[in-house]
Amino acid sequence: MRPSVKKTLFFIFAFSGLALAGLMIIVLLVIADAPLDRLERVSTIGTDRKISKTNIFLEKGSLIKMDELEFYLQFYGGEKEPARVIKDALEKETFHKVGRAGMLYSLNEDLELDAPLVNDCDQIYCYQHRINFDQIPSQFWKGLMGIEDYRFLDHFGVDIKSILRAAIIDIIEMKVVQGGSTLTQQLVKNLFYSNEKKLSRKLKEMIVAIYIESKYPKENILEAYFNEVFWGALGSVRIKGIYAATLFYFEKRPQEIDPYEASILIGLLKGPNYYRPLKHLDRLIQRTNVVYNKLGELNLYPVSADLKWKKEQWESWQAKLKGRVEGNWHLNMWKTFENNETYLNPYEKFVFNQKAAEIMNFIKTRAPDQDMAIKAFIGSPKIGDENYFTYYSKFERSRATAIWEERHQVGSTLKPLLYSYFLDHEMKLTDAVSTAPVELKLISGNWSPREAHDDLPAEVSLADALAKSYNRPVIRLAQKIGFEKLEKELDPIIPRMQKPLSEYPAQLLGAVELTLAELHQTYRKFIERECKKGLEEEDPSVLYLLSDPKQTTVRLAVGSVIGKQRFFGKTGTSNKGFDNWFVFFDGVRLGVVWVGLEGNRDVKQFKLYGSNTSFKIFELFARDSGRRFGELNCEMMKVP
């Protein structure tokens, strides 16, 4: 062989070797750069992973809303199917319907429920619960392979035939029409890469897909795919994985889904937003029928006319989904998972979230286009017990900041505390006090407290003045005691009180700004103080006086169920209805609920009050939380 030929061959082999080595280096770098540990983390330990080891008891004698219980049970960790739990309870007559209409039921015996399953999604507004491959019904993975990747069991991560077919179609159409991606490539894209249409991304995707196929069995790849795939969103909550998809779209577990419903879900995967049932039902119907018929032709599904939905079924399903979205059901369930505070059990958290959302929808009819919010702090009345539940309707902002740092004018919520001290100065609730106008001469000018109503009697008893939350009697009684003396008594329990009190008397009518945590702590001291006085009807304390909702500021708002109960409650409304409060104590729980405007307050007065906003949240929650409502008592405050 001539030297020139040898030299040429040498360079060819050398160049090929270098090219191959370079290619191997690129492949190794791509594999090393891919966060493969994410694939390792999708391995699961079964569906029995719950957010709490403690089961939930709905108490005998309590009330529940059946639709709320049915929805909650879709997410619980019990072995029984949710529908079976309800059916068995109805057959045992555990539930008794209250009234002829509606979804309100009473419990004739305790009902034990498992805690909900964990939410595996670490993203905001997202629900996911991973399950093992053997818990994924075969109709899903058979159907998916039949539609998306028929040669999945035969290829090595990349399907050359599909790529060539897609390339030819793309050339003919002069645009990207088909991608030719295998399920493994789709999994890699969902787990590691973005949807950007770049050749470099596609090459990386193919390299990692081949590597994954060499390392993991097909079952593991399918398990990861079905646990990680994005299935659209409902009510601003992203649906991730097969378990979440069946719950959100059908309120069923995967094993309860029939072949036609499975076709709907498989059809959605092609484009969850494009085929979104709330907006594009016609597209989804057409897509589903194509999927269902093709799977029947492939003998993967038992095609039956009985399973195919008629137009009425599609419209009924769409209407139910819309109702869930408008009622924030999925979002409220997600908030239940997000809140890891333990004072309320998961079912109580879900019910509270539901009631707050219900009242928020009402508020929007009274104050449309305004920046309204709801906050709550519920905990033990005992000082030192730091177990509590907090709520803030704006999840995009810090709940801790909203509860512990942001202050609002408290309005009439301070009046029970004031009367508790008034009665220490040789006053009785039966004593009379004038409601006539009173004027104080302050350094800042003359000041007179106003009343919400003009038709007041000339004088009232202290009990009536407190129950009806009159303003002028408070100032008259403070004058009688002396502002300086009252200031010394109130200073330890009202944070940041302006002094001297005689120059800032409006503080006694609620012109004080406190956080929800501070008002809760202030009321702890009040409850402790009042419980030492007792709850005797003959010589009632302030705590006992305000325990009959039919006699207080909520008398016109309270419903028939809660109206029969005894609990301490005080509303507060200030700043033209921009701040609305309700403080309650039922013998076990001490809670503070605030509803108000957080944005620009340069607007006209709202027709919002503590009685039709904050109190209603408490009322609906107390009625439907599955907790029996006991008579007001001070057992919690006794020293062991």
| Least reliable range by pLDDT among 82-96, 126-140, 183-197 | 183-197
| 8: confidence class by pLDDT, cuts 50, 70, 90 | low
Structure tokens at 550: 């039919």
Residue closest to 585 by CA, chosen among 428, 417, 393, 469? 417
Q: For residues 635 and 295, what is the distance between their CA atoms, to the nearest angstrom?
A: 65
Q: Which residue has the higher pLDDT, 139 or 537?
A: 139
- Over residues 412-471, the pLDDT tens digits come to 999 999 999 999 998 999 999 999 999 999 999 999 999 877 788 999 999 999 999 999
Q: For residues 130 and 124, what is the distance between their CA atoms, to the nearest angstrom?
A: 17
| 11: confidence class by pLDDT, cuts 50, 70, 90 | low
User: For 85-112, what is the mean pLDDT?
Assistant: 89
| Strands (E) located in 235-322 | 237-240
pLDDT score at 145: 85
126-127/237-240 β-pairing: parallel
Q: Is the dihedral angle over the CA atoms 300, 303, 307, 311 positive or is it negative?
A: positive
pLDDT score at 174: 47
pTM: 0.88
- Over residues 322-356, the pLDDT tens digits come to 999 999 999 999 999 999 999 999 999 999 999 99
Q: For residues 213 and 228, what is the distance between their CA atoms, to the nearest angstrom?
A: 17
User: What percent of the chain is modeled with pLDDT above 90?
Assistant: 59
3-class DSSP state for residue 237? strand
User: For 471-488, what is the mean pLDDT?
Assistant: 95
3-class DSSP state for residue 316? helix
312-339 core/surface letters (b: 16 or more CB in 10 A; e: else): eebeebeeebeebbebbbbbbbbbbbeb
pLDDT score at 34: 54
pLDDT score at 176: 46
- Over residues 214-266, the pLDDT tens digits come to 777 888 888 888 998 999 999 899 999 999 999 999 999 999 999 999 999 99
pLDDT score at 368: 86
The DSSP output letter for 70 is H
Q: For residues 130 and 225, what is the distance between their CA atoms, to the nearest angstrom?
A: 10
pLDDT score at 164: 58
**CATH T-level fold of 413-511:** Beta-lactamase (3.40.710)
169 pLDDT above the threshold of 80: no
- Over residues 12-47, the pLDDT tens digits come to 555 555 455 555 555 555 455 555 555 665 554 555
Q: Domain ranges in the chain?
A: 56-113, 126-326, 348-410+512-635, 413-511
**Same fold for the domain at 126-326 and the one at 348-410+512-635?**
no
Whether domain 348-410+512-635 has CATH 3.40.630.30: no
pLDDT score at 44: 47
Class of domain 126-326: mainly alpha
Q: Find where tokens 């090219």 sit.
A: 19
* Rounded to 5°, angle at Cα 254 from 140 and 313: 90
3-class DSSP state for residue 431? coil
User: For 66-82, what is the mean pLDDT?
Assistant: 90
